[in-house]
Structure formats: C-alpha cells, structure tokens
Structure 1
C-alpha cells in the first residue's frame, strides 16, 4: 500500500467517524518556544491550553513535522527522520478513552478490502501507563487481548505533558512486534522489535509544579478531557510495504536509487554507505519541505537547521564518491514523489531549487577553503612530529569553517594522521549543552496569558472596530499594572487596559499598532502599543498623562488619524512593492517577512543574489505606475481553500484561520494576498513609493526598504537639497553633476598617487646612508633604525632597500621599526651570508615583540611583527646587537 493510500484511509476513517479534516499547518511553528512543528497536536495547542475555543468538537489531520535533536541518528536506526508526517485524531471535550481506543484498533486491524490497514492482531501490543487500570480494562474489552499482551510502562514512556504546568495525562501506545530477529521477547524498550506506530494521549490531568518529565504534581482533573493522538505515517508505511525502515518507502527510496546511479555504489552492501544513502534520502526531502515552507539557509535558528541538512546531504554524497553538484540530481526526484500530495512544491519549484542549489554551491566553496585550512593544520602536526590532529583543530574546522568532521577524518587518514575524536565530541557536547541551556532560558520567558484568559472568559472578546472607525465610546473591562489587576492607574504610570470595544489596530501581519489617546473625565492616557496576547482580546499599553484612570471610568478612544493614514499608505505600499517584485523578478520572488509603520515599509523576500540598480529602478517604476493607475483596493472574506484556489498569496510562517480569511486585492489579480491589515481605498492614495535601499539579510534573503506618502516626498526633497548644494559648490548643472564629481575623484586619485610616490622616494633616499653607517657586531653588519610616522608597508620597503645596499659577501642584518597612530611595526631582513652565520630574522622579530606588547614572525630571511607599547621600542631596538652577537657566535 503506497503512502498516499495510507494517508487517504486514515483521514477517511476519521472523517466517517464525525471528525473535521483539518489541512496541515506550515511546518514553521507559531509558538515562540519552537523552531518547527514537532508533533501533530501543536497547531491545536491553543485549544488544549484553553487559550482559544475550538471550532469543532473533533478533528483529524496529517501534519508536516520536523524534529532535529536526533539528527545524528538519522540513517542509523529504522525510525529517526527529520521531516515526517504525523497522522492524528483529536477530541476537544467530546469522546475520551474508550472511543479513542475503538477508533484506533478498528483502523489498524480492519482488513484491507474493508478500508483498514490489515495489520495482524497477533503482532500488536498495546502499552499503557502503569497506573492506568482503566485503560487496561478498555483495551481488553475492545480488542479481546489478554493481560500478557498489554505492556505496563512508567512515566518516561507512557505519561504525556508539555513540560510546563497545564494539561497532561497517561498515554497508550500501539506497538508492532517485528519478531525475534529485532530483539528479545518482552523487551518493550527494544524499539526496533516493538515499534511504536501510534500514541493515544488521554489528556485528563491538570499538572502543577512540573520539575521534569517524571517529576510533577497533579493538581486535579481537567474540566474537559481531551484526546490527542499521533501516528507516524512513515512507520506504518514501511510495515505495510514490507520494508526494513522508513528510508525505503515509496516516497523516499527513489532518491536512494538515484544516489546509487550517481555514486556507482550499491545500497545494502556496506553499513557505512547505507547510512549515507539514508541520510541523503531523509535530508534531501526534509530540506525541500523546509524551503517549501519559506525557510532559507542561515547561521542561526531555522536557517541553521536547513543549512546543516543540506550540507550533510551534500557531504554524504561526497563520502559516497560523488563530488559533482548533487542536489540538482536528487531533489527533483523527491519533488516528484512528495509533490503528489503537496502541490505547492511543484508550483514553487523554481524558488525552492534556486535556494537549495545556491546553498550547495556555497558549501562547495566552503569545502575548498576548509581543505586549505586542513592542509595547513595537518602540515603543522607533521612538522611537530605528532600523528594526531587535536580535537580543538577539528572543532574549529567544523564550527568556524563549516567543515564536516567526517571529511576531516577522511582527509586525515589519507595523510596518515589520526584525529582526536574524543576531544572533538567533548567540544561538540559542550556546545550542545550551551544551546540547550539557552533554549531553556528562552522557554522560561514565555509569557503567562492566564490573566488575559480570565478577562476573556469573564467578558467575552473585544469588539474590534479598526476597519470601521477611528473613534469609539468604550468601557474598561480591566486595568492591569505589572501584569496584575488594578483598580486605578495614576498619572505617569504605565499599565494596560482592556476595552469592551476599540478602534485601535493591534500589531500584526508586519503592521505597527495604532497610536492615539483615551480621554476620560478629568484626564487622558496615551496609547503606547496595542497587542493581541490571546485570540479575541485586544490589550492597550498606555501611559497616564493627565489625571487618574479608574476601572469604572468611561473613555473615548481616538486613533491618531495622521498615524492611521500613514500606516494604511505603508501597508498598501508593501503589497504594491511585493507585486512589482514578482512582476520584475518572476513569481518565485515571494515575500518572507515585512514591517511597516506610517511612511515606511520594509519587505524581505527570497532571492539569492543582489539586485542590479536597473532592477531596483524597474521595481520602483512599476510601483509608481500602479499608483498612477489609481487601482482599486478591495477585500473580501472566504475560506482558506477558496483563497488558495483564487490565487491569493499566503505568507511563509503565518498561521491562518482555516474557516475564514481576509483577502486584499489591489488591481484585481495583479496583487492578491491574505492580509488583516488596514489599507487605502485606491492605490493613488499611497502618494508615492521611494525605494531607499536593497541589501542582503542572510543567505537566500534580500530586503527592500522604501518611504511612502509624505515621508517619501520628504526623502526626495532632502536628496534635491543635497543635489542643489553640490551643484552650487561645484558650479555645474544637475545633469552634469555625476561627471563633474567623477572627474574630481579621478584627479584626487592621481594626486594621491603622486604624493605616495614622492613619499616613498623620500623614504628610500636615506637608504644608502643607513647602509653605509652599519655597525659591526661580531663580523655582522647591523643596521637598526627607528622611523617615526612610518606604517607597516613603509617599514618593510625601507628594510628591504637597505639590505639590498649592504655588501652581499658580508653577513648583514637590517631592523627597521616605525610608530604610526600609537602602533609599532617592525621588520627584520637578513642577507644570505647573515643566515649562514646563524642570524634569524624570525627570532629577532619575536624577541622585539615580547617587549612591545605584540608578536610577530616569518622566515629567517624576512620577518615582521608589531605591538601596542611604543614606550619600550628603543629598549627593544637596543637589544638587537646583543641578540645578533649571540646568534653569530
């Protein structure tokens, strides 16, 4: 049974049982504590936490997921993958344990010809939490299995929580026995034998004082009990397809087959090669899915995970013997298989390919540079007589230069060297611990929304009127000071206020919150910020500027009309620039982020190379033409599926309501995006769009900035003033200004060259005198000279010039030191006869460096260095003759 059929049967089974089929959310988690969605329940987390009211009593989904903590285990086990699909069914206060067990057992055991999966009952073992006798009784009742077929496991295996106070409960897993070839009878910890395919979470407890996964207090029972299940699609697929592991299923093995063709090696022959083939299959698919959802390679967060996956795939192909670009050969194979379910991969293929292939090309250059660094390190090891590359060096190659440890091991072996792997692993472990500690610290800062939930439960959602008016008469529902309820906010105090109705736009979708005031009898408060901490509730951060605001005061809420006009112009301008980008660069230039405030917009988009000045001008010109055309700006509400069919663009990383979304159009299909922001009525009302810059904001991401409205005209006026001042100063016309400035720059460069030439001539003019005044030190001609005002280049030039003037037949050494801007530069030069007498320029410079607070080095004939302590320079130079005498014997 192919993977798409397994998925279809799962969704069909639960839809027939009254569940709403919910499409997969983006793999990019909206939870600030998560990089990616790691489980199917994450999109439903607000419902389980009571932060939002679920729109359906029961639901089912097949969710795209990514887990990266076990990335090193990918390919080594049957079950670890970075990207995977998790099938789940969810009950929000509807059915509970018995129905969950019935539905799962029915699908798993129902014959194939009846729409089930037809797994043999004799191979299935339910597991339950050791103290959950109710689950044991229900499994026996539903399945007819005896006691010895039901495994009782502890908290670490069969109790679920989020790791923070909140809902939790016992779990029940369905395990598939793969037979004695995979482990001992009854050893349920042997996951290769007893493979978990489905986990049923009975969310029934309210947890408090959560100290660890196995150490927490149960405060009581949840008022509404929920069901959350997760079934690994890939795991069921390799069982039903008779494969050994998830990498060999129908949607992944074709990549391995292509990798075999490219490398000339065969899967199933060598364990190390098999691991590499599996890494390729997993990482190529995972990378493609991440890019498809808007991730671009970078050095931190999601971008770093993607970069690591892509580079591990390329590295594995190299270790398999294929050194040409691999992703253009492999990723289209994965696209063809996954694109059958996720059509976005096919539609956005140009963008996905450009990002992936560009990163591979960058990595190939990194490998070249890393190889040079490795060769230097290996050379140092050999010269020292050692045979092992230090763990610190291997770690630096990996961490600083992105050079994989496997390549370091491979290349070290080729040169007869070992690598201190234990030292390397220790440094890697320390780095991981630092990362975990940082992540834990960040997680601990997650905002507590309990107080807001209490307000929402008591009073209902805020009546939000930002689309309709700029002014409302309102009543406070709550005042907050320091996160707690307050009866009054005094003059000068900053706090929060929740109103029953508000005209203020709360920050979202890249648009800054409105500014304005709340007037009340005897006073006024200034609105500093407006947010939605939980769905349905609008919270205003305010500062009391006059009087005292009490919780029972009536207020008059007024948005600053100038602020709102500027915000509308900027947000509509963002849509216009986005459409212009796609018109100029092509449909794959998609927005990846934005920010707009009155008069200013910033738009990030996926692109791998800098835009030319001509492209920037064309984007600006297309934008201005849209403004001149006075295009109508309209919006409508529809389902997410309708919006997609209509061609509306949904932004990467944003989450949308599956039942109703707002689509904003500018000029019909020319610009059609999902958006909840405020907008102008016609494009001409934007006033103007002036692009002020275009730059990189990370690998595969560019940023355009622009001014709109009055701020755009102000920017142009400032530039006009600059041009006017320059034309007056240079006595020329605006059209001739560039040529005039260019002529001045060229003349300045020519003068600087002449000045430099004269300076060097003057510097070298004293070379002959210095050479003739050399001192004799034990038969060696020694010249020591201090040249104040000379930099490193000047010092070197003079030292070499003086050395060339010494008698070549007589041993000679020249040491020149210069001081410029408080920094000391030193160069020592020794002729061939001097080196034969044992004089070393390298040793002389090192000795001087110790006294002047610096260092230096080089070869025996020429060495250079520097320092920061000029006060001891004369002392250091005075010791040169002593050092020369010692070296010359």
Structure 2
C-alpha cells in the first residue's frame, strides 16, 4: 500500500467518525520557540492550552514535521530522519479513552479491502501507564489483545507532557511485532527494534504545575475537560504495510536513494552482515542524500530559503550535506537536478502543490548547490594553504581552530577536511574541532534559552485573553468606541498608567491594524476620559488579543475607563496604498518573469514596499522597467479591489496565492485586484480601486540570499517626491556638464573615459617618480651580521611598487651571499613595509615574515607572510626610518 493511500485512508476513516479534516500546517510555525513544526499536535497546542476555542470538538490531520536535533546522526542508522509525517486524531472535550482505543483498533485491524490497514491482531501489543487500570481494561474489553500482550510502563515511556507546566496525562502505545528476524521475543520491554511503536494515544486529563523532567513532575489536578491527542508515524506504518525494513525503503524515500546509488555506481545494503548498529559508509551517505533531499524539498515548498541563521541555516546545512554525501560517494557534478525531481514525483501524490511550485523550489535548491560548489573550491584553496603552513612548521596535525574556521566561516564540512588532509599526509585535531563546536552549540543553546525565556512569559496576555477576544474593526472603521480591559507595564498588569509612561493597553474594541503579513501597525491615538495615548505599535501576542503599545501624553489612564480608538486616517490611506501596491508589483512580477517568481516575504509601510521573491539572478534594467510599467498600467486601469472570506480549500481552488510560511485559519480572506490578475490570501488593509495606489516607482533590486531577490518601491506621494528629487538631480547634472538631459549618459560617459585616461597618465608619472627616487638600491647595500642588507624608504611607494622593487633587487644581488631587502613606503595613506630574503639568507635562519613583524610593531601595526617575501603595515608614518633600523638591529643581533 503506497504511503499516499495510507494517508488517504487515515483521513477518510476519521472523517467518517465525525472528525473535521484539518490540512497540514506549514512547517514554519508561528511559535517563536520552534524552528519548525516538530509534532502532529503543535498546530492544536493553543486548544489544549485553553488559549483558543476550536471550531470543532474532534479533528484529524496528517501533519508535516521536521526534527533536526540529531541531524548529525541521520544516515548512521536506518531509524534517524529529519522530515516525517504524523497522522493524528484529536478530541477536545469530546471522546476519551474508550473511543480512542476503539478507533485505533478498528482502523489497524479492518481488512484492507474494507478500507482498513489489515494488520494481524496477533502481532499487536499495547502499553499503558503503570497505574492506568482503566486503559488496560479497555484494551481487554474492546480488542482481542490478551493481558500478557499489555505492558505497564512508567513515566519515561507512558506519560506525556509538553515539557512545561500545562496539560499532561498517561498514554497508551501500540506496538507491532515484526517477527523473530528482527530481534528477541518478549514484547516492547525486551526489544523495540522487533516490536515497533506505531501509534501513541495520549489521554490529556491533568494540569501539571511543574515539569522538571520527563519522569519528574507535579500534578495540580484534573483538567476542566478531558482531551485526546494521538499520533501515528506515517513512515513507520508505511514500512510495515510495504513489507520493508525501515523508512528509507518506503515508496516516498527509496526512489531518491536508488537514483543516488545509480548515479554513483554504489550498491545500497552494504551494511548487511556487519555488526548491529555499524553502517557501511556508502549506506550512510545514501541515506543522508535520500533524507535531506526530501526534507529540503518540503522546507522550500513551505517557503524556507537557504540562509546563515535559523530555519535558513538548517535548510542550507541539509542541502550541503546531501551534496557533500554525493561527493563522498564519488559524484562531483551537480546532483540536485537529478535527485530533486525524483523526490517531487513521489511526494506530490500527497502534496500536489509541490508539482505546481516545483520551478520555484528547483530554482532555489539548484542555486544553493552551485553556491556550495563555489564554497568547496574556495575552501579547498584555504585548506591547501593551511596544510602547507602546517608542513612547513614541521607539524603533522592540522589545528582544530583551522578546521573549525573552515567549517564555520566557509561551510567546509569537517568530513571533507579530514579526507583531504589525510590525502596530504596530515591528521586533524578532531578533539579541538569538537571542543569548538561544542562551545558554539552551548552558545546557541544559551541564546535559544534566553529567547525562549523572554517569550515564554505570556501569562499576562493569556489572562487578558481569557476575558474575551478583542472586537477588531480595522477593516470597517477608523474610530471605534470601547473600554479599557487591561493595562500592562514592564510585563505586569497594572491598574493605571501615568503621563510620560510607556505601556500596553488592551481594549475590548479597536480599529487599529495589528502588525502582520508584512504590514506594519497603524499609528494614531487612544482617547480615554480626557487622557490621550499615542499609539506606537500594535501586536497580537496571543491569538484573538490586540495589544497597543502606547506613550501616555495626557493622563492618567485606568482600567475600566471608556475609550475611543482613533487611527490616523492619512497613515491608513498611505498603508493601504503600500499594501495594495505590493500585490500589484507581485502580479506584475509574475506576468513579466513567469509563475515561478513567487513572493517569499514582504514588508510595507506608508509610502514604501519591498517584496522578496524566488529568483536566482539579478533582473536586467529592461525587466525592471517592464515590471514597473505593468504595475503602473494596473494602477491606470482603475482595477476593482475586493475582499472575500471563504474556506482555505475554496481559496486554493480559485487559485489564490498564499504567502509561504503563513498559518491560515479555516476561513481565509482573499484579496482580488482585477479579478484573477491578482488573487492572494491576505489579512491586510487595501484600497478599493487600483488607481488609489497612485504612482509606483521601483527604487532597487538586490539579492537577499541564495535564490532570493528583493524589489523595493515607493508608492503614492513618496513615489512622486522620489521622482521629483531625481528630476532635480538630472537638471543639476545637466547644468554642470552643460548638456541637455537626453544627452547626459553620453556626456557623462565621455567625462568618465577622459578621467580614466588622466588617472592612467598620473599613475605612470607616479611610478616613474618612485623609480627615480629609489635610484639604484644596490648602491645602498651594507653588511650586517654577515648578511647583505638593503633598507630604504621610498617616498610615495605603494605596496605593489615595493613588492616589485624588493624582488627585482634581490634577483640583482644573486644567491652567493645571504641577502635581505627591506623597503618602506607611505603611499597611499598608511605606512607599509615589504621584506624579501634570498635562499642563502633563509638557510641561515633569516625569515622575511619574522622581520616584517619586527618592523610593523614599530609602525604600530602588524603583518606577516612567507619566509621569502612578506608585507606589513601600521599607523604611524613618522616611524618608517625607525622600522628599518629595527630590522637592521634584528639582523645584527
């Protein structure tokens, strides 16, 4: 049974049991404590925490998940992976243990022709929490599992919590016996390789007041309502139903592995017959490729782009690990163009949007591979230099600091450093590298903990949200009447804010737009019984609650007072122009470049917009001009702008574009400009007709990451002011160069060409002057400690001049006697010193790099280089003669 069919049967079964089918949330989640959704229940967490009320009492989903905590272990065994899918069914105060167990048993054991999974009941085991007599009795009553196949386990295995105070409860797990060829008999307690966990039924029934560890917590009491949260790993059940050993061999993963093996000429399965847990390197690399290609496909599909931090860094690391693994298998050509389409073909059966968006996905992935190939070339050069210096110093081990710098600064994998160093007869200080990596991880963990701790104190917002959702009127009104529900200062609720203080105000009704979807918050005032509050920011710290950050101009303001929320009307008009302008530019971009140029992020404020989009090359001047032209035609044509609410499936069916990474409710708002010309999901404020956007002018186009470009533009009065400024600048230039505006490009080009010719002549004169001032350097030679030494200052000498002069002079003096040539210069700007030694001097132990450091210290700087030629510099140009004298003293010592 294919994985897509297993997924379909799950959703069909639970829909038939009255569950609402909830689409998978994007992998990018709004929870700032999570990089990615890492469990099936994450999108439902606000319901279990009581922060929000679900629209249904029972739901089901197949949730996309990514876990990266043990990414370095991926491939070493057949159990570790990053992307996975979690089948889940959930009850919010509806059914509990009885139905959860009955549903699970029915779906698992119903024959496949009748819509179930058809598992043999004789192979199923159950575990229950150590004192959960009720669950054990239900297994005995509702299923054919005998008592000897029901195992009681403690907190570490069969008690669930979120790791923080909140809901928790016992759980009951279902295991499948894969047979004696997989391990020892005796149930999950004996061998969890043979007895594979396939389903976990969590019975949330208690409020936990403290969670010190998985097995150490306090139970405050029962929850107001009993909930069910279950999870079945889709890849695990697929491996069973497809009769394969592990997730790497199921239909959604193995084709990529197979393609990689074909491309590299390797055979998967080389680990067979080896010691348990000891995988052959070829198998490890092939698994890394299969896992990371699929994970990268899904992450890019959900709007992640490669970067140097956060989610982008995780994606970059996965893509590069996959490319590196192919290289270690002997394949050095671009690999992703062969592998990514294979993964898309398999995954699109469940996620058809991958096929329609594949051009964008491929563009980003392939650009990252090309960037990494350049990184490998650069890293190889740096590694070769480090290896040479290590050998020259007589060492046989590359320092851990150098290996770490290659990894951290250049993205050069440690495995590749080990391999290439070994090829040149060197070891690598792996312990030093690991120590530095651990230090970096500890810093990252500390930073994440600090961020988590800073965000975790949301109790005050939860308390205020429990009083009721904010009646939000931003779409309909600019001014609303209401009352002050709560005041917050320095993270704590207060009863009053005084004049001059800054704090947060929660109203029962507001017309202020809260920052979201790239649009910044409204500006304006809140008037409260004579007090005037200047609104500086508006946010939604928890869903359903609008919070205004204010500065109290006149006051005081107290909880319970009547309020008038008054949005600055000009601010709102300008904000609407910018947000509608963003949609227009996006549509124009896609019309000019094609449908793969999809928005991946945006920011707009009154008068200004920027739009990030998937593209792997800079736009030509003609392309930018055409995009601007198409956008302004849409403004001129006065296209109608409409906003309609509908379900997410309805919006997708109509072709509405969703912003990657955004999480949407069941009901979504679709903004249309000119009908199908621009149709996007959006919660922002907009004009009513495109002509109200006013002028629109593109001001910049740049790169913001691998495969991502950024357009910037002014709209409305800001656009007109920008054009007026440019017009004045053109007029001023015309006056200066004495040419009409139309002739400016040609006139300025002529001036630049003439300037370059003059610069060349000046440079020629300067070099002649430097050479003349240098004279015959060999005439200045003297004997210092048995070394022929020339030390001279060349006025105006630039580094390139000095390097040429010291090497020429060294050649003139030959190799008969030890020779050192040291020159200082002062052009341009700061003093510089260059030293050259011949072979005889180096044989005597005289090294150019050491002498340069002596001189540079006198100059107040530093330097270095090779033994035969080195360069340094400093800050104090008055010390150049002293620097030469210091070299002479060093030679005579």
| Cα-Cα RMSD | 2.5
Distance change >3 Å, CA 603–CA 285, structure 1 → 2: same
Task: Write the distance in 1 (CA, Å) between the matches of 2:122 and 2:267.
Answer: 35
- Residue 759 of structure 1 is matched in structure 2 by 766
Distance change >3 Å, CA 879–CA 627, structure 1 → 2: closer
| Partner-residue secondary structure (3-state), 1:36 | coil
Of the structure 1 ranges 784-793 and 217-226, higher mean CA displacement relative to structure 2 is found in: 784-793
- Residue 499 of structure 1 is matched in structure 2 by 507
Task: Write the distance in 1 (CA, Å) between the matches of 2:127 and 2:173.
Answer: 5
Task: Write the distance in 1 (CA, Å) between the matches of 2:229 and 2:591.
Answer: 45
Distance change >3 Å, CA 181–CA 797, structure 1 → 2: same
Q: Among residues 473, 483, 498, which one is paired with 2:481 in the alignment?
A: 473
Q: Among residues 350, 367, 372, which one is paired with 1:341 in the alignment?
A: 350
Unaligned runs of 5+ in 2: 272-279
Of the structure 1 ranges 373-382 and 727-736, higher mean CA displacement relative to structure 2 is found in: 373-382
Task: Write the distance in 1 (CA, Å) between the matches of 2:117 and 2:414.
Answer: 43
Unaligned runs of 5+ in 1: none
- Residue 283 of structure 1 is matched in structure 2 by 292
| Partner-residue secondary structure (3-state), 2:139 | helix
Shift of 1:127: 1.7
| Partner-residue secondary structure (3-state), 1:317 | helix
Shift of 1:500: 2.9
Q: How does 1:88-487 map to 2 (within 5 A)?
A: 88-186=88-186, 188=189, 190-270=191-271, 271-458=280-467, 460-487=468-495
- Residue 277 of structure 2 is matched in structure 1 by none
2:718 maps to 1:718: no
Report if the CA contact (8 A) 1:768-1:802 is conserved. Answer: no
Report if the CA contact (8 A) 2:121-2:144 is conserved. Answer: no
- Residue 701 of structure 2 is matched in structure 1 by 694
- Residue 550 of structure 1 is matched in structure 2 by 558
- Residue 629 of structure 1 is matched in structure 2 by 637
- Residue 564 of structure 1 is matched in structure 2 by 572
Report if the CA contact (8 A) 2:774-2:794 is conserved. Answer: no
2:559 maps to 1:588: no
Q: How does 1:508-519 map to 2 (within 5 A)?
A: 508-519=516-527
Describe the superposition over 1:589-636 as per-residue Cα deviations: whole angstroms up to 9, x where unpaired. Answer: 111111111111111111112112221111111111111111111121
- Residue 58 of structure 2 is matched in structure 1 by 58
Q: Among residues 722, 735, 738, which one is paired with 2:745 in the alignment?
A: 738
Report if the CA contact (8 A) 2:201-2:229 is conserved. Answer: yes
2:704 maps to 1:703: no
Report if the CA contact (8 A) 1:848-1:876 is conserved. Answer: yes
Task: Write the distance in 2 (CA, Å) between the matches of 1:290 and 1:455.
Answer: 35
| Partner-residue secondary structure (3-state), 1:98 | helix
Distance change >3 Å, CA 122–CA 818, structure 1 → 2: same
Distance change >3 Å, CA 813–CA 371, structure 1 → 2: closer
2:735 maps to 1:728: yes
| Partner-residue secondary structure (3-state), 2:622 | helix
Report if the CA contact (8 A) 2:770-2:795 is conserved. Answer: no
Shift of 1:739: 2.4
Distance change >3 Å, CA 640–CA 824, structure 1 → 2: same
- Residue 26 of structure 1 is matched in structure 2 by 26
2:582 maps to 1:574: yes
Shift of 1:810: 7.0
Distance change >3 Å, CA 190–CA 380, structure 1 → 2: farther
Describe the superposition over 1:516-564 as per-residue Cα deviations: whole angstroms up to 9, x where unpaired. Answer: 1223443322222222223333222222212322334323322111111
Task: Write the distance in 1 (CA, Å) between the matches of 2:17 and 2:218.
Answer: 35
Task: Write the distance in 2 (CA, Å) between the matches of 1:801 and 1:380.
Answer: 26
Report if the CA contact (8 A) 1:767-1:801 is conserved. Answer: no
Of the structure 1 ranges 646-655 and 358-367, higher mean CA displacement relative to structure 2 is found in: 358-367
Distance change >3 Å, CA 23–CA 858, structure 1 → 2: closer
Task: Write the distance in 2 (CA, Å) between the matches of 1:117 and 1:346.
Answer: 28
Of the structure 1 ranges 552-561 and 794-803, higher mean CA displacement relative to structure 2 is found in: 794-803
Q: Among residues 637, 652, 665, which one is paired with 1:644 in the alignment?
A: 652
Describe the superposition over 1:682-716 as per-residue Cα deviations: whole angstroms up to 9, x where unpaired. Answer: 11111111111111111121111111111111111
Task: Write the distance in 1 (CA, Å) between the matches of 2:889 and 2:557.
Answer: 84
Describe the superposition over 1:388-445 as per-residue Cα deviations: whole angstroms up to 9, x where unpaired. Answer: 4343333333222222233233334433444443443343333323322222221112
Task: Write the distance in 2 (CA, Å) between the matches of 1:601 and 1:875.
Answer: 57
Task: Write the distance in 2 (CA, Å) between the matches of 1:48 and 1:555.
Answer: 33
Task: Write the distance in 2 (CA, Å) between the matches of 1:582 and 1:427.
Answer: 46
Shift of 1:829: 3.4
Report if the CA contact (8 A) 1:767-1:802 is conserved. Answer: no
Task: Write the distance in 1 (CA, Å) between the matches of 2:887 and 2:72.
Answer: 56
2:769 maps to 1:768: no
Task: Write the distance in 1 (CA, Å) between the matches of 2:781 and 2:389.
Answer: 37
Task: Write the distance in 1 (CA, Å) between the matches of 2:89 and 2:842.
Answer: 82
Distance change >3 Å, CA 196–CA 837, structure 1 → 2: closer
Task: Write the distance in 2 (CA, Å) between the matches of 1:124 and 1:525.
Answer: 64
Shift of 1:761: 1.3
| Partner-residue secondary structure (3-state), 1:446 | helix
| Partner-residue secondary structure (3-state), 1:282 | helix
Report if the CA contact (8 A) 1:482-1:495 is conserved. Answer: yes
| Partner-residue secondary structure (3-state), 2:792 | strand
Report if the CA contact (8 A) 2:739-2:747 is conserved. Answer: yes
Report if the CA contact (8 A) 1:822-1:868 is conserved. Answer: no
Task: Write the distance in 2 (CA, Å) between the matches of 1:8 and 1:700.
Answer: 34
Report if the CA contact (8 A) 1:47-1:53 is conserved. Answer: yes
Of the structure 1 ranges 348-357 and 269-278, higher mean CA displacement relative to structure 2 is found in: 269-278
- Residue 75 of structure 1 is matched in structure 2 by 75
Of the structure 1 ranges 599-608 and 173-182, higher mean CA displacement relative to structure 2 is found in: 173-182
2:47 maps to 1:39: no
| Partner-residue secondary structure (3-state), 1:697 | strand
Shift of 1:868: 4.4
| Partner-residue secondary structure (3-state), 2:705 | coil
Distance change >3 Å, CA 180–CA 376, structure 1 → 2: farther
Report if the CA contact (8 A) 1:238-1:245 is conserved. Answer: yes
With normalisation by structure 2, the TM-score equals 0.94
| Partner-residue secondary structure (3-state), 2:454 | coil
Q: How does 1:517-528 map to 2 (within 5 A)?
A: 517-528=525-536
Q: Among residues 605, 609, 619, which one is paired with 2:613 in the alignment?
A: 605
| Partner-residue secondary structure (3-state), 1:226 | strand
Task: Write the distance in 2 (CA, Å) between the matches of 1:703 and 1:541.
Answer: 30
- Residue 670 of structure 2 is matched in structure 1 by 663
Task: Write the distance in 2 (CA, Å) between the matches of 1:403 and 1:706.
Answer: 37
Task: Write the distance in 2 (CA, Å) between the matches of 1:845 and 1:391.
Answer: 27
| Partner-residue secondary structure (3-state), 2:680 | strand
| Partner-residue secondary structure (3-state), 2:52 | coil
- Residue 276 of structure 2 is matched in structure 1 by none
Describe the superposition over 1:753-792 as per-residue Cα deviations: whole angstroms up to 9, x where unpaired. Answer: 2222222211211333554343344675533223465443
- Residue 844 of structure 1 is matched in structure 2 by 851
Report if the CA contact (8 A) 2:29-2:36 is conserved. Answer: yes
